Amino acid sequence: MSHYAMVIDTRLCIGCGDCVVACKSENRTPTGLNRDWVVEQTRGRYPDLTTEFRSERCNHCSHATCVLCCPTGASHHWQGSNIVLVDADRCTGCKACIAACPYDARYITPEGYIDKCTFCHHRVAKGLDPACVATCPTHCMHFGDLDQASSRVAELLGKRDYKTLLSGTGNRPNVYYLT
Amino acid sequence: MIEELLTTARYHPKVDPSLGIWSWEIPVYLFFGGLTAGMMLLAAWALLTRKEGQAPFAAHRLALWAPIMLSIGMTTLFLDLEHKLYVWRFYTSLQPTSPMSWGAWILVVIYPISILQLLSTLRQGYPKLAGYLTPLPLVPAILDFSERHRLSIAGWTIPFAAALGIYTGILLSGFSARPFWNSAILGPLFLVSGLSAAAAITVLAARDHRERRLFGDIDIGLLSLELLLILLLVLGLANGAQPQLEALDRILHGEYAELFWGWLVGIGILLPLILEIMGRRREIPLHFIAPLLVLAGGLLLRWLTVELGQLSSWNDYPLPFDPTLLQKLQ
Amino acid sequence: MKRRDFIKLPGLAALGVAGGGLLSGCQSRPLPGSGEVTVTPTVCEICFWKCAGWVHAENGEPWKITGNAEDLHSGGRLCTRGSGGLGAYADRDRLRQPMLRVEEKGRQRFKPVSWEEALSFIAERMEQIGERHGRDRLALLSHGSGGGQFKRLLNAFGSHIFAQPSYAQCRGPRQVAFALTYGEDVGSPDRTDMANARCIALIGSHIGENLHNGQVQTLSEAIARDATLITVDPRFSVAAGKSRYWLPIGPGTDIALLLAWMHVLINEDLYDHRFVEQHTLGFEQLREHVQSFNPEWAWLETGLEPERIRATAHELGRHAPASLVHPGRHTTWYGDDTQRERAIAIVNALLGNWGQQGGFYRPEKVELPAYPAPKPAKPASDWKAAIQADHPLAPKGISHKVIEACIGDQAQVKGLFVYATNLPMTIPGIADKLNRAADDLELMVVVDTLPMEVTGYADVILPECSYLERHDDLRNSPEREPSLALRQPAFEPLHQSKPAWWMAKQLAERLGLGEYFPWQDYTEVLDWQLQQVGSSLEEMERIGVKTFPRKTGLYFSADDPPSFRTASGKVELYSQLLADYGYDPLPRYTPPQQPGEGYYRMLYGRAPAHTFGRTTNNPVLFELMPENHLWLHPITAADHGLKSGDYARMKNRVGVRGNPIRVRVTERVSPRDLFLAHGFGHKAGGLRLTDGVGGDDGEMMDNIKIDPITGSTGMRATFVTLEKA
Ligand SMILES: Nc1nc2c(c(=O)[nH]1)N[C@H]1C(S)=C(S)[C@@H](COP(=O)(O)OP(=O)(O)OC[C@H]3O[C@@H](n4cnc5c(=O)[nH]c(N)nc54)[C@H](O)[C@@H]3O)O[C@H]1N2
Ligand SMILES: Nc1nc2c(c(=O)[nH]1)N[C@H]1C(S)=C(S)[C@@H](COP(=O)(O)OP(=O)(O)OC[C@H]3O[C@@H](n4cnc5c(=O)[nH]c(N)nc54)[C@H](O)[C@@H]3O)O[C@H]1N2
Ligand code: SF4
Ligand code: SF4
Ligand code: SF4
Ligand code: SF4
Ligand code: SF4
Ligand SMILES: [Mo]
């Protein structure tokens, strides 16, 4: 069982959206639907300002409320890991999982089933980084198994300050932002 | 100043800028589900407490309408599914953590019970209809059977119908991601509202003046209780975290304040309550107004709850691009 | 498993799939990459950084483009726009067939014609111009990989007039200033060794929004290593947000800051004595020149506190020579741009970072022989003297001068080829001149992939296929390590589009110049060239990029000292050449013109999702960023009753009103400025996604400041006011 995590360095992220384009083409997400998106946050008043860019997506929550509420088991954990996938052939399109995701990470495909970021499990299975991670021009994204102490993600979380999004929901998200 | 916005275009249908996954179908389903539960409960109660004489409609006729209401509700539920041909997938697994899954299974259990319940009083309630059915094979035997077990069927009805009524609320309150819904009050609230709607139906349909009075009185109690539960819901939000406070804000100010306090609480609950109380002293001429308001209030309660829950969220990033531009890609 | 079983299984599975399909109406999409995947090497043409990558197709369908790991330009990763490159292929509005301007019932329209008709028409007109006016009267404006083909064609014909907007609208001042100072240009990719720098100052350069891939990656490396980043920008750019020092300078006052930096570096003895003594000329004049330009003086000009100016000068000095002031790239700002770039060059010289680790590295390219073919004869006339004599130091063609030279009966230019440059949106204030030029020209050919604004002026439009469908010359850019990269067609050209090499050769044959294009297919040229350097087309098709060993060191050293191709052989801090031509030999600060009451200064720049206006109709990138925003400070917004999401129009001082543009209220601009990304506000007519969407900065530029030295167009003295839309 693996504990996959994405670690994104906000000090380096420039908000360029390459991760979004790379995901779009890698995963052929339908027109207008994206598995990841970029948020810009600016604080302060001119000229005392800071900005933070964050590439966001499904957090592959350890306590995945979307999986818990799914009536058919279509939303499930991949191979016992924390990677959350949707099996289109079991999905009724009841949308409970959309309501259950505090991150609004899911969307409805034109065919009527639910889809979202898969952490590119098809690449992970081949030992590759997810498409977004592999393309990011600032090298600010990292992917790996937190249970392996030697992994880059574990190392980074060990030595840098980080945060997760909406930690108050109790979902135990697995996309970490180095600050 | 904090400025937070998306820098990449995102406009997921029914998700952005706030959830719109459930429109009329789900509130209607929840309303009819609750109404069904309320009808079955009241009918069972009337039998179990031997009120056939005092409340003939509730005891003998109300039950017939339960599966009909349930069917309407299930139809709208089906209409809401995005992937309709996969509806059978609900019944290939039972997901213990999913209220939706429980609900699906409750519905399959409720159906036969409600049929048995209606059959158990069919010959009293609707003798003509029973007459049409009797020539059919097996029907007399089934009718005999259910009449014989009338009371135990009523007994069985209570827990399942209560489960159905509560489930319509739990379905929503299970979503911790939607601050407005995340309150245990929704279960009892929807149950009480379902009962009150069923009582209102009885008031409307009963011919007997005494029965109308009885269920009018019952509704006074139920509406009062509903009011109390709504206040508790609001108090719960007021004591919640930031997202809850934002959700509360939406009913304290803005367009939803009028809908919530004016239409739902005022006209959908308080007004019929007052009318019913006035009606106790002397039969008021347009006696059907109060129950109709109750029914409308019940539907509005579901609709507003579904809507407000979807509007409430843990994050709201302004979407900086004109969404209609993306339609050019189609 | 026995063979019979093996054959049976898929049969059953197919039945199952069919059954399931009936029941469900749909199936989940197969996992990406589970089909048959092919990869083709490419070189990205979405901007001029020219990253090498791979085009992936799955089951014959376009899938994705990724970077080539061996490539230094891309570091194995393409940028946002490069990753969206398939949109350039898929764009439904692409030019489909050649078109000819015809007049019918007094109205002009474009008529789709065959290649044969279009090419013969062009060849006839060219001959006609040659006969009537002389064979040296054709010009080429170009900004793309295939431009060389048309250059060759016109040169063979006898015409040499040539200009690129990347000179007079972009790198001109930097090129000239560095050539004047160091004897050579910065080049592309910019030779900054940011990955190893300990301190980097960006003057405007908004790397991060400016998404030149290698620059972004090396800057990011520097940030990750905690190098000191200083960003000088009136706007809180993305880079400013990553900087230890953000200097929110008053627009147009950068030279004052640079002079103050020189003042501090010299007066506080922070400059590199050895470099200055051994390699520079004019240090004493410079010392004297900067004496009065102390940080307190600069404060009044720039609005930057003297302590911050000192502190940043100290940082630069402290880390020298692993310290650099980035020369920028789009440098045509206020008309004194060569002076500003000279000031940047001089600060760098004081830091002694030329050819040093963390400063400017020594780029090298591959010595690649040209395919054996006759060399076109040298120009018969001095076209520069004829059309841009007022800028004698300009080493290149000045694009707007070439257009001006198309106007009138006595015009120097009688036939114009435009290859991959959208002149109306690219050259500020050119619209009227372009109209008149198009009227007076006897031939105007536009080669493009899309029905952009410029195609509307053409007599003949030639549809080029996208870079994903063609061969072009090998990429051989100066880099840390010399390398070659191959662009190979990944798909058949759509519609009737054709590659530039084919068009040029076809024209040459019709003009009797076939000997200059002695190949049937361009692969012959590529293979021959590759063979000369020990590779082959076959090898390159497999690897895409081939790196060659350097012949010199990446940096200079004591045994390998630098030499400079200036007149004096030294780094010319004081430029005698400038003095001789009557320009300031040392950088002089001129206070910028101010907007005046009720006006704002319009700042513009890049958005990472787009390359100018060439990608705004690209469906993939449109989906990422369909419109641009007009950034307003909250005070400005309040003054005009605007809030985020509203639409407004800019209006300049001569009354030109822009397209409606969506407002973004943000603290990231000052109350005195506005900002928008360039590339939107198309009015081409055939761009279904982007026409009419967003605002165009170029349209507002009424006050163009020509740099006397380079002839380039300063575009930042643009003052606008606002109207609700
Ligand atoms: N995504 C993307 N990237 C690109 C391109 C693209 O089209 N799209 N184009 C490429 C090309 S060809 C070029 S030339 C480069 C251009 O990119 P750069 O060379 O980085 O362009 P600049 O003009 O330096 O940068 C614009 C910045 O200058 C600031 N600025 C405005 N006025 C002043 C001033 O008076 N002083 C100072 N210090 N700053 C000022 C603006 O606020 C803005 O942040 O980008 C390249 N990269
Ligand atoms: N207002 C304003 N003007 C500017 C700038 C600015 O920031 N603001 N920036 C300046 C700078 S730095 C630069 S470098 C210039 C850039 O100026 P241009 O190079 O003119 O830039 P684009 O607007 O991208 O126009 C490129 C044209 O080439 C076409 N094209 C794209 N790919 C191909 C191809 O493969 N083959 C052919 N034949 N055509 C192709 C496109 O359709 C488009 O018509 O603009 C300058 N002008
Ligand atoms: S690609 Fe990288 S730098 Fe660009 S927005 Fe995504 S995470 Fe940030
Ligand atoms: S982010 Fe949302 S969709 Fe993803 S695992 Fe968590 S709850 Fe589920
Ligand atoms: S929409 Fe599909 S994945 Fe989501 S909860 Fe319903 S069945 Fe599960
Ligand atoms: S991990 Fe894969 S699916 Fe998820 S956002 Fe990145 S590229 Fe998309
Ligand atoms: S920087 Fe981006 S757009 Fe430019 S060539 Fe490289 S990948 Fe293409
Ligand atoms: Mo440029």
- The size of chain A, in residues, is 179
Put simply, whether B318 touches A (Cβ < 8 Å) is no
Q: Rounded distance, CA C551 to CA C465, Å?
A: 37
Give one DSSP letter per residue of A91-113, joined into a string.
Answer: -----HHHHH-TT---EE-TTS-
Minimal CA–CA distance to A51: which of C242, C222, C608?
A: C242
B22 to chain A, any CB pair closer than 8 A? The answer is yes
B267 three-class SS: helix
Q: What digits encode the pLDDT tens for the residues C10-35?
A: 333 333 343 444 444 456 678 999 99
Residue A18 Cα, ligand 3 centroid: separation in angstroms?
Answer: 6
Return the best residue to mutate from A3, A101, A119 for the ligand 4 pocket (most ligand atoms within 8 A of CB): A101
| Cβ-defined contact of B5 to A168 (cutoff 8 Å) | no
- Binning pLDDT at 50, 70 and 90, where does residue C271 land? very high
The HSE-up count of residue C151 (CA atoms within 13 Å, CB side) is 16
Kindly indicate whether the domain formed by C600-724 is annotated with CATH number 3.40.640.10.
no
Distance from CA of B21 to the nearest CA of A (A): 7
Tell whether the model's pLDDT for residue B279 goes beyond 90. Answer: no
Q: Does the beta-carbon distance from C644 to B321 stay under 8 Å?
A: no
Q: CA torsion angle for B120, B123, B129, B132 (degrees, to 10)? A: 100
Confidence (pLDDT) at B250 = 92
Contact list, B325 vs chain C (CB under 8 Å)? 622, 626-627, 693
Taking residues C462-478, report their average pLDDT: 98
| B85: contact with C, CB 8 A cutoff | yes
Question: Which atom of ligand 4 is found nearest the CA of A67?
Answer: 8
Mean pLDDT (chain C) is 95
For residue C26, the model assigns a pLDDT of 53
Given a contact cutoff of 8 angstroms between Cβ atoms, the answer to whether C548 and C533 are in contact is yes
> Using a CB-CB distance cutoff of 8 angstroms, which residues of chain C are in contact with residue B85?
23-25
Given ligand 2 and candidates C94, C421, C617, which is best to mutate, with the most ligand atoms within 8 Å of its CB? Answer: C421
Q: How many H helices and E strands in chain B?
A: 15, 1
For residue C83, which residues of chain A lie inside 8 Å, CB to CB?
18, 21-22, 25, 135
Q: Closest ligand 4 atom to the C-alpha of A117?
A: 4
Q: Which residue of B has its CA nearest to C628?
A: B321
pLDDT in tens, C337-349: 999 999 999 999 9
Sequence-ordered alpha helix ranges (H) in C557-612 = 576-580
- Tell me, yes or no, if C241 comes closer than 8 A to chain A by beta carbon: yes
The pLDDT of residue B319: 86
CB-closest option in A9, A31, A137 to C213: A137
Contacting residues for C717 by C-beta, under 8 A, at least 6 apart: C252, C334, C335, C592, C593, C703, C704, C705
Q: Where are the beta strands (DSSP E) in C258-383?
A: 280-281, 323-326
CA distance B8 to C80: 11
- Measured in angstroms, how far is the CA atom of residue C564 from the centroid of ligand 2? 33
* Chain A partners (3+ C-beta pairs within 8 A): B, C
Residue ID of nearest Cα to ligand 3 atom 2 = A136
| Max CA separation in chain B (angstroms) | 78
Instruction: Characterize the bridge pairing of strands A84-86 and A175-178.
Output: unpaired
Q: What is the pLDDT of residues A114-154, one digit of tens each?
A: 999 999 999 999 999 999 999 999 999 999 999 999 999 99
> Residue C609 and residue A28: Cβ atoms within 8 Å?
no
Least confident of B309-318, C73-82, C247-256: B309-318
Cis peptide before B67 (omega within 30 of 0): no
**pLDDT of C146-156, one tens digit each?**
999 999 999 99
> Tell me, what's the pLDDT at B97?
94
Spatial distance between the Cα atoms of B61 and B124, rounded to a whole number of angstroms: 8
Which C residues in the span 596-615 are in contact with B, Cβ-Cβ below 8 Å?
609
The radius of gyration computed from the CA coordinates of chain B, to the nearest angstrom, equals: 22
CATH topology for the C192-363+561-580 domain: Dimethylsulfoxide Reductase; domain 2 (3.40.228)
Compute the distance between CA of residue A63 and CA of residue A172 in angstroms, rounded to an integer: 6
Residue type, C571: V
Span B139-151, mean pLDDT? 94
Task: Please state, for a pLDDT cut of 70, what percent of chain C lies above it.
Answer: 96
End-to-end Cα separation, chain C, in angstroms = 71
Which residue in chain B is spatially nearest to C28 when comparing CA positions?
A: B83
Of C470, C474, C469, residue with least CA distance to C526? C474
Q: What is the spatial distance between Cα C635 and Cα B255, in angstroms, rounded to a whole number? A: 29
Alpha carbon nearest to ligand 4 atom 4, residue: A58
CATH 3.50.50.60 is held by the domain A4-178? no
- Closest-approaching ligand to the CA atom of C701: 2
Q: Determine which of B239-243, C119-123, C299-303, C429-433 has the lowest per-residue pLDDT on average.
A: B239-243
> Which H/E stretch holds residue C611?
none
Q: Is the dihedral of CA A113, A118, A123, A125 positive or negative?
A: negative
pLDDT of residue A22: 98
Mutation test residue for ligand 5: of A95, A104, A107, the one with most atoms within 8 Å of CB: A95
The structure's pTM equals: 0.95
Structure confidence at residue C680 (pLDDT): 98
Distance from CA of B186 to the nearest CA of A (A): 16
User: Distance, in angstroms, between C205 CA and closest chain A CA?
Assistant: 14
* Residue in A21, A53, A139 nearest the CB of C220: A139
Residues, chain B: 330
Mutate to test the interface with B, among A14, A53, A61, A69 (most CBs of B within 10 A): A69
**C667-686 tens-digit pLDDT:** 999 999 999 999 999 999 99
* Binary contact (B85, C662; C-beta < 8 A): no
More confident residue, C90 or C29: C90
Nearest-atom index, ligand 4, CA of A173: 6
β partners of residue C42: C53
| Number of inter-chain CB pairs under 8 A, A vs C | 139
Query: Is the pLDDT reported for residue A71 higher than 50?
Result: yes
pLDDT of residue A175: 98
Provide the chain B residues 150-189 that lie in CB contact (below 8 A) with chain A.
174-178
CB C437 within 8 A of CB C418: no
How near does any CA of chain A get to the CA of C220, in Å?
A: 5
Give, using CA atoms, the residue closest to atom 1 of ligand 6. Answer: A119
Amino acid at B203: V
Looking at residue C22, its pLDDT comes to 41
Q: Which one of C22, C28, C54, C72 would you mutate to disrupt binding with A, by most A Cβ within 10 Å of its Cβ?
A: C28
Q: Which residue of C has its CA nearest to A46?
A: C667
Q: How many Å apart are CA A21 and CA B82, to the nearest integer?
A: 27
Contact assessment for residue C152 and residue C505, using Cβ atoms and an 8 Å cutoff: no
Enumerate helices (H) and strands (E) in chain C, giving the number of each. 25, 26
Residue in the structure block whose two tokens are 């000191």:
C228
Using CB atoms, pick whichever of A9, A14, A46 lies closest to residue C208. A14
Closest listed ligand to the CA of B92: 5
User: In chain C, what are the domain boundaries?
Assistant: 192-363+561-580, 600-724
Residues of C in Cβ contact (< 8 Å) with B319: none
Give the CA radius of gyration of chain C. 27
Interface size B-C, in CB pairs within 8 Å, comes to 48
Q: Which ligand 7 atom is at minimum distance from the Cα of C53? A: 7
Supply the DSSP string of C331-344, one letter for each residue: --SSS-HHHHHHHH
- The helix (H) or strand (E) run that includes residue C246 is strand C245-247
CB contact under 8 A, B4 and A39: yes
Pocket perturbation via mutation, ligand 5, pick of A65, A77, A86 by most ligand atoms within 8 A of CB: A86
User: Are B313 and B243 in contact, with CB atoms under 8 Å apart?
Assistant: yes
* C624–B contact, CB cutoff 8 A: yes
d(CA B317, CA B17): 8
Q: Which uninterrupted H or E stretch holds A57?
A: strand A48-57
**Which ligand is located closest to the Cα atom of residue C47?**
7
**CA dihedral sign, ordered C373, C374, C378, C381:** negative
The two tokens of residue C466 are 């996208």
By CB neighbour count within 10 A (0-12 exposed, 13-18 middle, 19+ buried), where does A44 fall? Answer: middle
Q: Cβ contacts (< 8 Å) between A37 and chain C: which residues?
A: none
Tell me which residue has tokens 């094979």: B137
Cα(B119) to centroid(ligand 3), Å: 65
Residue C497 has pLDDT above 60, yes or no: yes
Q: Please tell me the residue having the least CA distance from ligand 5 atom 2.
A: A91
Strands C661-665 and C713-714: unpaired
Polymer length in residues for chain C: 725
Looking only at the bridges linking them, the beta strands covering C37-43 and B2-6 are: unpaired
Q: Which residue has the tokens 């369909």?
A: C626
pLDDT digits 0-9 by tens, C605-637: 999 999 999 999 999 999 999 999 999 999 999
ipTM, two decimals, is 0.95
Q: Whose CA is nearest to atom 25 of ligand 1?
A: C205
Q: What is the mean pLDDT of residues C37-54?
A: 98
Provide the 8-state DSSP code for C106.
Answer: T
Instruction: Work out the minimum CA distance from B3 to partner chain C, whole angstroms.
Output: 7
Is C337 within 8 Å of C167 (Cβ atoms)?
no
